[in-house]
Chains A and B, each alone.
Chain A
Amino acid sequence: MSIYMDNAATTMQKPDCVIDAVVNAMRHMGNSGRGAHEASLDASRLIYETREMISDLVNLGSPRQVAFTCNSTEALNTAILGLFGPGDHLISTVMEHNSVLRPLYRLEKEGAELSFVPCDASGMLCVDTLEQYLRPNTKGLICTHASNLTGNANDLKKIGAFCKEHGLLFVVDASQTAGVLPIDMQAMNIDVLCFTGHKGLYGPQGTGGICVRAGITVRPLKSGGSGIHTYLKEHPSEMPTALEAGTLNGHGIAGLHAALGFLKQTGTDTIHKKEISLMRRFLAGVKEIPSIRLYGNFDTNERAAVVSLNIGDYDSSEVSDELSVTYGISTRPGAHCAPLMHTSMGTVDQGMVRFSFSWFNTEDEVDTAVRALKELAED
């Protein structure tokens, strides 16, 4: 028996319609924007429709401002390196994943200045301290919507209002929340939103994107084939082509298109409610185990369905391995590419064992995981 509870890494179980769409695309799809024959046009049509679906999902207001990337990391690199430069001061948070931190550190080496907003003991962002990080050269604020480690979510409306008030560009990493929590780019004053397709959107790996508010120019990381302006020496500047050099992952985007259809039909709210209900069942079970230490704030359901924990002083890798080998339960131990968050929570040495739930998990699976943890804790 195998129980998959590493959905914050990727939702391994996908709706059948997603798998069927990828297979169908691999049989029939041409290269989008590379010809006017039906196979190419079909690819262009499907990709355009997917832009519309993403634009609607996050209330961007313009499908042309959705550019596809191969994941959040590519989108975040594009946003951070394409908007900011030497001399700029940027505010970020200790909740960030390395996909945000490493491009920021690269900018720092090139002459940018960085400040990181801390979290409290439960891993909640100290959002009321934002003002104290402002400098005359502060140009932007980059933050995650929800921590991939604790599942705690940030109040994007509040942070977006702060950015608007102080004229900062607001870049959001929605890796853990696209398809999970409501995102309204206009109401939240988000300038650039980066997402991945293979987590809460239930699409294939190798899909993701960057949503850029109209009027904002992001310098592209790549240049190359575009299907347009062939004789120009520079890559075209019009969105979305500006940020899409080379052949798109049309097969993957076909799967993402089906996944977005699944989300719309099922309802993101319905999916989130189920995931949170599984998370609460798991929490109730593990809270009874004396040696278990939980991380994160569970006062609200406005969060990702993630529970990270440790058993006593056991190495998280050891616990995760035991869960995998003895019980067939897949979890993620270690540092989760979130170095500042582990530093903040005091778990650099031990790491954490992360359980993350999806639409495809069941109450029986949750109960099995709780029993497994009880047995391990009693060892």
Chain B
Amino acid sequence: MRQKEWKLIITFHTTSDAIAFEKACKENGKRGRMIPVPRELSAGCGLAWCTLPADRAEMEEFLHTQNICSEDIAELLY
């Protein structure tokens, strides 16, 4: 298994919200990728956006400007 590192994980209510966020990230050059929701997070959707903790403020602002609701934003070893 890979060595775990601290990551910022964003979870969503629905698959559509997750995919909408992924699309917006790609279109706006935001780094990160979609992952299955880690067990530490009890999320609605099975998909989560995974990026670096340093991006937290940027991601929160981006979620707001894109009008996409996240379910949870957490930092954990992944």
Chain A residues with a Cβ under 8 A of chain B: 32-36, 41, 44-45, 47-49, 51, 63-64, 227-229, 236, 238-241
- Kindly state the separation between the CA atoms of A32 and B19 in the bound complex, as whole angstroms: 10
State whether B20 touches A228 (Cβ < 8 A).
Answer: no
Task: Determine whether B44 belongs to the interface, using a CB cutoff of 8 Å to chain A.
Answer: yes
Interface centre among B19, B22, B36 (most CB of A within 10 A): B19
Q: How many residues of B contact A (CB 8 A)?
A: 19
CB–CB A33/B46 < 8 A: yes
A44 close to B15 (CB less than 8 A): yes
Give the number of A-B contacts (CB < 8 Å). Answer: 64
Contact A227 B45 (CB under 8 A): yes
Q: Is the CB of B35 within 8 A of A227?
A: no
On chain B, the residues within 8 Å of A63 by CB distance are: 16, 20
* Complex contacts, A45 vs chain B, CB 8 Å: 19, 22-23
On chain B, the residues within 8 Å of A64 by CB distance are 14, 16-17, 20
Q: Are B34 and A236 in contact (CB under 8 A)?
A: no
Is B47 interfacial (CB 8 A cutoff)? yes
A35 to B48, CA, bound (A): 10
Q: Which residues of B contact A49 (CB under 8 A)?
A: 23
Which residues of B (6-62) have their CB < 8 Å from a CB of A? 13-20, 22-23, 34-36, 43-48
Cβ of B16: which chain A residues have Cβ within 8 Å of it?
48, 51, 63-64, 239-241
Q: Are A228 and B44 in contact (CB under 8 A)?
A: yes
Which of A34, A236, A238, A240 has the largest count of B CB atoms less than 10 A from its CB? A238
